[in-house]
Amino acid sequence: MWSLNDHRTVFMAVGLIGVLVCCVPSVMLFARLPGGEKFSELYVLGPGRMAEGYPYNVRENESYLVYVGVGNHMDSSSYYVVYVKFRNETEPLPNATSGTPSILAPLFEYRLFLPDGQSTEVPLSFSFSGISFFDNQSTVRGLVLNGVQSNVDKHVLWDAADSGYYYQLFFELWIYDKAADMFVFHNRFVSRWLNVTTPV
C-alpha cells in the first residue's frame, strides 16, 4: 500500500514531465541548437553534368566542356569566386596543409552569390591553340576559356611512365571575408589532368 508521500512523489513527477512536454515546443521557437559543420563544396562534372565523361585526351582547336559546381553549407549566404588556373607538372598547386592558394595567375573567374543550402553548376568550355611538339617536349601557347583567349606558354616533357604530355586545369574556391573586406582562399580546389595528344 502506498503512503501519502509516495502518491505525492508520483504526482509531482508526472506533473513535472507534463510541464516539460508542454514547454519544449515553445522553447524551441527561441532556442537555436548548434548546427553541423560549416563547409562549402567545390566539384567538377563532365559534359553530361555527371561525374563521368571528363575530357582527357585533348587536341588543338577542339572544344571541350565541363561544369564547375559550388555548394554553400555555411549557415548563411556566401559570396564566392572560383578561379580557373592552368599548370604544367612543375608549377605549384594550392597547399591544403598551409591553406595557401597557388601563386599562378587566374585565367578566368566565376563570381557566385549563394544562399545557405544552395548549390549551382556553371559551364566551362575550353580549347587549346598553338600546340607544338619537339624533342620529347610539348608546348601549349594558348587556352580559350568560355571564349576568353589567354596566352599560357606552358611546356611539359614526355611522361614515359604514363605515355603522354600532361597539363592540369584546376579550380580554386575563394570566399568573401566580411571582417577582412576581401576574398580569401577557402582551402578548396579540384583539378583535371589533360593529356595533350599529337594531331592525327
The three cell numbers of residue 109 are: 573567374
pLDDT at 23: 54
Q: Give CA angle at 129 (195, 147), nearest 5°.
A: 105
pTM for this predicted structure: 0.81
Find the mean pLDDT for residues 9-31.
54
Over residues 45-72, the pLDDT tens digits come to 999 999 999 999 999 999 999 999 999 9
* Residue 68, helix vs strand vs coil: strand
Mean pLDDT taken over the chain: 89
Contact 166, 146 (CB under 8 A): no
Q: How far apart are CA 54 and CA 116, in angstroms?
A: 29
Amino acid letter, 71: G
Q: How far apart are CA 175 and CA 182, in angstroms?
A: 8
**CA 81 vs CA 28, 33, 69, 142, 189: distances in Å:** 36, 30, 12, 23, 12
